[in-house]
Structure 1
Amino acid sequence: MPYTLGPGEHRIHFRELGAASRPTIVLIQGLTLDGRFWFDLPQRLAKDPEHPWHVLVPDNRGVGLSDLPGRPWTMADMADDVAAMLDAVDVRQAVVVGISMGGMIAQQVALRHPERVAGLILMATWPGLPYGKLPPLRSLGDLVGSSVVQRGNMDAVARLILPDSRRDDARELLRGWFGLMRERPPQRQAVLGQLGAIASHSTGHRLGRIQAPTRVITGAEDRLIPPINAERLAARIPGAGLEIVPDVAHAIPLLDRSVVHRNLAALGMWG
C-alpha cells in the first residue's frame, strides 16, 4: 500500500489504479470519509474502455490509513498532502476532483500548486466565509447527529445527503456507506481536526487566481452546502462552468454515476 510523507512528516496513504502512462486524476473525499467512499468510481475511471485514467485516491489526514497529526491543521496543509502524493508517484499534473471538504482541498491545491492542476472538478462544496452561504441550522444539527460524527443515525444521514424523493430508498442506497463506517470509524480527534480546517477555509477573495479549466457541480436539493455556493464559486473562478443536477442532494456521485465522466468530457480532459 503506497504512502507518502505530508508536511509535518506524517504518512498519507493513497491508492493508485491504472497505468502511470495515462493522464492522472485525483479523487478527494469529504469530511471524515476516506478514499473507499468513492466506491467503484476509481475502478470505472481506470478501466474506462475509451478513456482510461491513472487514478490516485488519497485518504485525507486523520482518516483511513493516513496518520492523525498531533496538532491542528488547515485546508492548505491537506492541499500540500495532495502535492506530496503527486511527487511520490512522479506525476507533474493531474485533474483534481473534490467533493464537499474534498472540494475545499481541491481549491487550495489549485491556488497553492497551480502548476500541478490540469483541470478542476468541484462538487457540493463552497468557498468558505465571507463569500459562502452557511447551511440551515437543521442541517448543521443533522451533521452533528449523523454517522459522519456519531456513526449510526440513518435518518440524519439521509436528510443530509439524499433528496426527499429518495428518502424511502435510504437503507438500500446507504448500505455500503454504513458498512464502510463500521469497518473503519473515524477517531474523534480526526473529526475535530477536519472540522477545524473547514472552519478556517476561505478562498473567495483568491478564486480569481485559478487558471485551470474548472467545472462546478451542485445538487439542486443539497441541504448541507446550499447550491448558491456553487453559483458563487463558478462566478469567481475565471471561465468556470456550472452544472446544477436536478433531484440530487449532497451525495452527487451516489445518484449520478456519470457525473465525473460527464464533466471530464465537458473540460475536454480525455487522454
Structure 2
Amino acid sequence: MPYCNTNGIKLFYQESGQGEPVLFLHGLGSCGEDWQDQIDAFSHDYRVITVDTRGHGRSDKPLGPYNMPTYASDVINLLDHLGIKRCHLVGFSMGGMIAFQIAADAPERLNSLTIVNSAPAVPYNTLSEKLEFCLRIAVIRLFGMKLLARIIGKRLFPEARQKSLYQRFITRMQGNPTTTYIEVIKSLIGWDVRPTLGNLEMPVLIISADNDYTPVSYKTEYANKISTANLVVINNSRHATPIDQPQQLNKEVFQFLESLA
C-alpha cells in the first residue's frame, strides 16, 4: 500500500491518471475513498491524488493533539514525497480548511485552490459557538459515533432517494475512533487564517451548496476578500456536495481547471 512518512506518522494516499496533479482533501470523519466520483471523472485528464489525513481512514491515528498547521505540513510533505512542486488543490469542509492553511503557509506550491463548503476560520467566541462544540463532543462521549453518524447523516441525506448515500455515510462515520474524532474536532476550535486571504494570488474557486450549514452569503463575504476568487453555487445540495451532487461539482471544477490551462 502507498504510504508517506510525515511528522512521525504514516499517511495513506492513492493516485490515478496522468497529467497535471490535482490533490483532493476530504472532510471530517471521511477519507480519500469518498472522492470516488471525482477520481472517476478527473483521472482521464489529470493526475489525481487522494489522501487520508491523519486520524482518518488508513492513515495513522495518533492520540493527539492535532492542529491545522500540522495537517498542512503533512500534505506538503506528501507533495515532496511524490515529487510534486505545484498542484491544483481541492478541499471539502475540513479539507478546505487544510487547503486554506496550505495556501497561507506555502502558496508557492499551488497552481489553484478550490474550496467546497468550507471556511477560513472556525470562530469560538460567542456562547452559541461554544455550545455547538460542547454539544457535539458531549454526544460523542455519551453515545458514541453511531448516534452522531445518524444525526449528521439525516441532515446530509434526508431524501428517500438518498438512502444508499445515507447508509454509506453511517458506515464510514462509525469507523472513526471516538477519541481520535474528538481530538480532530478540538484542532478546529478557534482556528483562523482570515488575515491571510488578501495575500492569496493563485486562482481560487469557492463552491457553496445552496443548503449548506453556512449560507451562501457567508462564502460571499470571505470570497470578496480574495481578489482572484470566483464563487459558484450548487443547487439542490446540502453540505456533502461532492457526494450528493457530484456531476454538478465535477462540471464546475473541471471548467475552472480547464480555464487555467
How far the C-alpha of 1:150 sits from its partner, in A, is 1.4
TM-score, reference length from structure 2? 0.86
2:31–2:52 Cα contact (<8 Å) kept: yes
Name the stretch that deviates more: 166-175 or 120-129.
Answer: 166-175
In structure 2, the partner of 1:92 is 85
In structure 1, the partner of 2:205 is 215
- Letter matched to residue 80 of structure 1: S
In structure 2, the partner of 1:33 is 30
Distance 1:267 1:240, change over 3 A: farther
1:61–1:78 Cα contact (<8 Å) kept: yes
- Letter matched to residue 24 of structure 1: P
Mapping 1:128-167, distance limit 5 Å: 128-129=121-122, 150-152=145-147, 156-162=151-157, 167=159
Percent sequence identity over aligned pairs: 23
Across the two proteins, how many residue pairs are aligned to each other? 256
How far the C-alpha of 1:266 sits from its partner, in A, is 2.6
2:63–2:183 Cα contact (<8 Å) kept: no
Larger helix share, 1 or 2? 2
TM-score, reference length from structure 1? 0.83
Deviations 1:24-59 (A, max 9, x none): 001101112111122332132113xxxx11011010
2:122–2:188 Cα contact (<8 Å) kept: no
Q: Distance in 1 between matches of 2:225 and 2:26?
A: 23
Match of residue 20, structure 2, among 23, 30, 37: 23
How far the C-alpha of 1:241 sits from its partner, in A, is 0.3
Q: Distance in 2 between matches of 1:139 and 1:256?
A: 28
Q: Distance in 2 between matches of 1:57 and 1:80?
A: 16
Distance 1:139 1:201, change over 3 A: closer
1:12–1:61 Cα contact (<8 Å) kept: yes
Q: Distance in 1 between matches of 2:171 and 2:73?
A: 30
**2:167 is the alignment partner of 1:175:** yes
Match of residue 232, structure 1, among 221, 226, 246: 221
> Pairwise CA RMSD of aligned residues?
2.9
Distance 1:172 1:137, change over 3 A: farther
How far the C-alpha of 1:155 sits from its partner, in A, is 5.2
SS of equivalent residue, structure 1 residue 39: helix
How far the C-alpha of 1:129 sits from its partner, in A, is 4.5
How far the C-alpha of 1:13 sits from its partner, in A, is 1.1
- Letter matched to residue 38 of structure 1: W
**2:57 is the alignment partner of 1:64:** yes
